[in-house]
Amino acid sequence: MSTMMLDLLLRSTWETILMTGLSGLISLVVGLPIGLLLVVTERGGIAQNLWVNRLLAAVVNGFRSVPFIILLVALIPVTRFIVGTSIGTWAAIVPLSIAAIPYYARIAEVSLREVDRGLVEAVRAMGGNRWTIVREVLVPEALPGLAAGFTVTLITLVGASAMAGAIGAGGLGDLAIRYGYQRFETEIMVAVVAVLIVLVCGLQWLGDRLVARLDHR
């Protein structure tokens, strides 16, 4: 492989990591509160509010039911509004984030709901308020699940970011399509796949280690 190709591969890898990392971070910061809201507002939750719950669930489901490739195109005006352009790595972060937020919100919701209700009750019996319950019970007790779910989200984003190549986002997917597929450069295709495998395995390994450290059950 020529130096130029290697250069290209390195740059694409970086672009993928950037897209995955940033949109992952955004999905965590926005998705976790949404997941929390879904759990606390549900029937029997600590801040039961069925209207908020239904509305939020509908929005989350709406975004989740649109295939990513369609979302990518449909969100072009939004992307242009936020980033100023609809082409490139930074532009891809917008649809990636918007797809990942509801995805992670649902995963977080499942983990948070699995927290034993007895623990919530124990803290209520101590005189704790809702915020205390969120801070001392729901989030810390669900942390291993939240971390495992975040790993899944990141790995899904690695895959999704490849699709973002369709709007000229760069990254490994873009590289594989343009060089590996359209130019029949098998070497590049194999290299991209190898890098992706390493990336995904690395993420999973890191995630598993984190979960093991967090899990005291």
Question: Which of 1, 10, 126, 190: binder of another protein (CB under 8 A)?
Answer: 126
Binding mask 198-217 for another protein (x = CB under 8 A): ----------------x-xx
Q: Is 48 in the site for another protein (CB under 8 A)?
A: no
Stretch that binds another protein, among 62-70, 133-141, 146-154, 199-207 (CB under 8 A): 133-141
Work out how close the CB of 198 gets to another protein at its nearest, in angstroms, rounded to a whole number.
32
The answer to the question of residue 44 lying near another protein (CB under 8 A) is no
Q: Does the protein bind another protein through residue 137 (CB under 8 A)?
A: yes
Binding piece for another protein, criterion CB under 8 A, among 67-75, 96-104, 115-123, 196-204: 115-123
- Residue 42 lies near another protein (rule: CB under 8 A): no
Q: How far is the CB of 119 from another protein (least distance, A)?
A: 5
What DSSP assignment string belongs to the chain?
--HHHHHHHHHHHHHHHHHHHHHHHHHHHHHHHHHHHHHHTSTTSTT--HHHHHHHHHHHHHHHHS-HHHHHHHTHHHHHHHHS-SSSHHHHHHHHHHHHHHHHHHHHHHHHHTS-HHHHHHHHHTT--HHHIIIIIIHHHHHHHHHHHHHHHHHHHHHHHHHGGGGT--HHHHHIIIIIITT--HHHHHHHHHHHHHHHHHHHHHHHHHHHHH---
The correct pick among 136, 177, 189, 200 for binding another protein (CB under 8 A) is 136
- Per CB under 8 A, does 119 bind another protein? yes
Stretch that binds another protein, among 36-44, 132-140, 159-167, 185-193 (CB under 8 A): 132-140
Asked if residue 123 binds another protein (CB under 8 A), the reply is: yes
**Could you say which of 140, 178, 189, 204 contacts another protein (CB under 8 A)?**
140
Question: Taking the chain, what is the end-to-end CA distance rounded to the nearest angstrom?
Answer: 49
Asked if 43 is part of the footprint of another protein (rule: CB under 8 A), the reply reads no
Interface residues with another protein (CB under 8 A)?
116, 118-119, 121-129, 132, 136-137, 140-141, 143, 214, 216-217
